Amino acid sequence: MPSAITYKHMSFLKTVIIILNFILWLFGWTILGIGIWLRVDPKSYEPSRFIDTDNMIHASLIMIITGFVIILIGFVGLIGVITENSCLLATFFTVLTCLFVMQIAAIVLGIFHGFGERLEIFANEEILQNLQQAQYNDQSRRFLDFFQVKLRCCGAQSFNDYARYGMTIPTSCYLAGTTYVNEQGCGRALRRFLELRSGIIGLLHQLLYKF
């Protein structure tokens, strides 16, 4: 009976790993191909006009390395299936599962890391434009107050933006019930707000940002 259970478990594990290998190989070759394409001609990718070239190259390197590692691990995992080594199969099952999650995260991170910088620049431009109009435009003033209160920020890049245009720092820049002015600009605050709510992508980016 124990041998039958072991055989069933081994057969199931082999089947799962073969399926995982097939899926990951498809991802690996696809991501490797896209990474090489972006590396050779980054401007041919349509959304690249929203992403800096340096970040596009960074994304392509992530894709190339990730794709290569997945393909390599897949071949090694196949050896484990052929030799029917239960310890080796269990190890590669765990490794392949982790790599699958990491690969998806790497793809999204590689793309949105560059997009985040572009978003911050765009937000700074829009906020600065509304800041200049806030003296005589109620809609612009309400727009600024909303962002500055919700995101606990001030100005586009910092509270110094108000001094540049000879304006008084509004009450929405102050931390509620204090005389403390939020020093962080709203462009950066908006970017971090979105990143922190992007789950694993936000976590990975925060780790890269700190180190």
Percent of the chain with pLDDT over 90: 2
Q: Is residue 211 part of a domain?
A: no
* More confident: 157 or 113: 157
Q: What is the pLDDT of residues 117-167, one digit of tens each?
A: 777 788 888 888 888 888 888 888 888 888 888 889 998 888 898 988 888
pTM for the predicted model, two decimal places: 0.43
84 contacts: CB under 8 Å, gap ≥ 6: 10, 14
> Is residue 146 assigned to a domain?
no
Query: Rounded to 5 degrees, what are φ and ψ at 120?
Result: -65, -40
The answer to the question of residue 32 being in a domain is yes
Q: What is the 3-state secondary structure (H, E, C) of 30-45?
A: HHHHHHHHHHHCHHHC
Asked whether residue 81 is assigned to any structural domain, the reply reads yes
Record the tokens describing residue 93, joined without a space.
Answer: 């099952």
Does residue 152 lie within any of the structural domains?
Answer: no
pLDDT of residue 74: 75
Q: How far apart are CA 144 and CA 147, in angstroms?
A: 5
Residue 27 domain flag: yes
- Total domains, the chain: 1
Confirm whether 182 is domain-assigned.
Answer: no
- Which of 165, 3, 32, 174 lies closest to 106 in space, CA to CA? 32
Domain hosting 95: range is 2-111
* 187, part of any domain: no
Whose tokens are 């605050």? That residue is 189
Q: What is the phi-psi region of residue 154: left when phi exceeds 0, alpha when psi lies from -120 to 50, beta otherwise?
A: beta
